[in-house]
Amino acid sequence: MNDILTFKPIYKTKIWGGNKLKNNFGKTDAPQATGESWEVSAVAGNASQIANGAFAGEFFDALVKKYPMEIMGKRLYKKYGIFFPLLVKLIDASDNLSVQVHPDDNAAKKVEGTNAFGKTEMWYVLQADKGSSLISGFKRNVNREKYLKSVANNDILDILAVYKVKAGDAFYIPAGRVHAIGRGILVVEVQQTSDTTYRIFDYNRKGSDDKLRELHTEKAKQALNFDGDDGAPLNLKDLGNGTRLVVQSPYFIINTLDIKQNIKTDYTHIDSFIILTGIAGKIFVNLDYEPQAELTAGKTVLIPHIVKNKITLSGQGKLLEIYIP
């Protein structure tokens, strides 16, 4: 286990999916109406396939089982075992996504069973059409009773907070916060490894079976958080040397890095694997100064814990840096 890992994307077609990944982000093999591209996944039945090196063709969940400490490090192995804790996606919304909420760990286990996990996530906007907006949280003074009345009256949209967005905006979506990506937006989504989603409202859309898509009204009631909900865009904090903190949470830390020249990364203080996702430009990820992977917008690599201190970055561009605190 001495490789930087690259992965074959897992494409998910959706009724709201688009073609930006295929046409604008180099994923020429993506089918029409691709709504999601799972870039790094160890979800059972939806695990990423390794695309490079000695492990090419193997599935990531199986690799984590074989080399958990080499990939995650001793600390994270002690905390998570062979459960890989993050899932990284690209989401292309050519139409509005459903209004939804994700449970936290406790609510997920209560509703879905003891093996379920919650889903806290972050969106980083890669591209947004002019005038695009998304939903993140409630407007002020919304309580449980007002929410339930809005659901019953089918006017839930009236109590939701809507934000205009542009490339470079970021939103933190903790479990329990109501949210929805709007049409014309493409985001990088970093989340806990979970695929539990409760739809609250879906614009009365029909699925492929010509029936209204299922809503999860009762489950959503148990997952929603009405206390202190502020879904405004994140204010990125300048950390110097071209690094800006996007978000620090119990589940992940995410920074942006502006690469303008060759740099030797210093990950000695980070006891975690590192995931890098390209935002702009072209950056080469080097192992012992030898190029191993190329990052352009929408491409992702994983640096195992065992090689994290042998990495240099070269080229010019911008990327997301993701790891576990």
| Residues recorded for the chain | 325
Domain boundaries, the chain: 5-223, 237-323
CB 43 within 8 A of CB 193: yes
Whether 199 is a known active-site residue: answer yes
The yes-or-no answer to whether 5-223 and 237-323 have a common fold is yes
For the whole model, what pTM was predicted?
A: 0.95
d(CA 30, CA 16): 15
Looking at domain 5-223, its CATH superfamily turns out to be: Jelly Rolls (2.60.120.10)
Cα radius of gyration (the chain): 20
**Residues whose CB is less than 8 angstroms from the CB of residue 202 and which lie 6 or more positions away in sequence, other chains included:** 98, 99, 212, 213, 215
d(CA 121, CA 254): 11
d(CA 187, CA 174): 16
Catalytic one among 140, 183, 199, 244? 199
Return the closest-CA partner of residue 168 out of 294, 238, 256: 256
- Three-state secondary structure call for residue 67: coil
> Cα dihedral angle (207, 211, 213, 214), rounded to 10 degrees?
-140
Please give the CATH topology (third level) of the domain spanning 237-323. Answer: Jelly Rolls (2.60.120)
pLDDT tens, the chain, 325 aa long: 889 999 999 999 999 999 999 999 999 999 999 999 999 999 989 999 999 999 999 999 999 999 999 999 999 999 999 999 999 999 999 999 999 999 998 889 888 887 788 999 999 999 999 999 999 999 877 888 999 999 999 999 999 999 999 999 999 999 999 999 999 999 999 999 998 899 999 998 888 788 888 999 889 988 998 876 689 999 999 999 899 999 999 999 999 999 998 888 989 999 999 999 999 999 999 999 898 999 999 999 999 999 999 999 999 999 999 999 9
